Amino acid sequence: MSNRQITLAARPVGFPQESDFALVESPLPEPGAGEVLVRSHWLSLDPYMRGRMSEARSYAKP
């Protein structure tokens, strides 16, 4: 089984473009003893996240 992630490939200048992102697949390790594997069906995006794509300083780590 693999994990698909959409990652930031480049910091957008102006409106974000498809080329600013990359689809990355990586293998998922088998859960260990006492662990479970969870599948996400929904994702929520917040306007705050757009500001985090820029190089501007913030109070939180990227």
- pLDDT by residue for the chain (62 residues), tens only, comes to 889 999 999 999 999 999 999 999 999 999 999 999 999 888 888 888 888 888 877 777 65
Can you give the length of the chain in residues? 62
Chain-centroid distance, C-alpha 46: 13
Lookup: tokens for 5 = 């992630």
State residue 61's pLDDT score.
67
State residue 25's pLDDT score.
96
Using CA atoms, how far apart are residues 39 and 49, in angstroms rounded to an integer? 22
State residue 45's pLDDT score.
83
Q: Look at the pTM and tell me if it is higher than 0.95.
A: no
